[in-house]
Amino acid sequence: MFSLQDKIAIVTGASQGIGKTIAELFSKSGAHVVCIARNEEKIKNLANTISKNGHSASYNPCDISDGDLFQNTIKSVINDYGKIDILINNAGITRDSLVLRMKNNQWDDVLITNLKGAFYATKSVLRSMMKNKYGRIINITSIVGLQGNSGQSNYSASKAGLIGFSQSVAKEVASRGITINCIAPGWIETEMTSELSQDIKSEIIKNIPIGKTGTTEDIAYTALFLARSE
């Protein structure tokens, strides 16, 4: 296992699914993990469980779509720990609808949370990372950001935008020892995907060559590989 000893990591959307598994794995690998999500009860329980298991974690409840609140939350983390080494932009929402029926707020909510939230976080951590000449930013995108998906034009646009954003910022900060990478999962078993009907799930699995879905652990270990120091 790659060591993240003495690293400070922020994981957004840590209350469930991929974010929760990343937080657990990173803490086991030696990092202090700051869990961020809207649901205070869930991230408090997560941080407490991680601590009871002998690892290090804290939590900060925050709605990442609120730019001022989110940026102030990250500044408080830097003040508390002196740095941020790793940022996992994982938080995301869906508001699925065909374009002809999609309401403006359905479009705006998804773009603000999934894309603008990552902008807020990245901008907030970069100064600290540049000062330390070290940083790892990992953005959880989606295969639909590359392929599209019917009924998810807003979600697909947000994830495609996150890929372009990551490529651009990577070119701005690579010389300062900061890497920015994307992970674009396909079908992963999470609380979010569990809400889909069995017919839709069966149709999706038909298009997966291996014939089965991925797990949150698959994504977490990929993130750990990208977050390593060497």
Look-up of token digits 């930013």: 137
| Active-site hit among 59, 134, 155, 221 | 155
For residues 143 and 128, is the Cβ–Cβ distance under 8 A? no
User: What amino acid is encoded at 130 in this protein?
Assistant: M
- Residue 155 known to be catalytic: yes
Maximum separation of any 2 CA atoms in the chain, in Å:
51
**Alpha carbons 175 and 10: distance in angstroms, whole number:** 22
124: nearest Cα among 35, 10, 220, 24: 10
For residues 175 and 129, is the Cβ–Cβ distance under 8 A? no
User: What amino acid is encoded at 96 in this protein?
Assistant: D
**Alpha carbons 21 and 15: distance in angstroms, whole number:** 9
56-61/32-37 β-pairing: parallel
Sheet holding 8-12, edge to edge: 56-61, 32-37, 8-12, 86-89, 135-140, 178-183
For the annotated catalytic residues, the residue numbers are 155
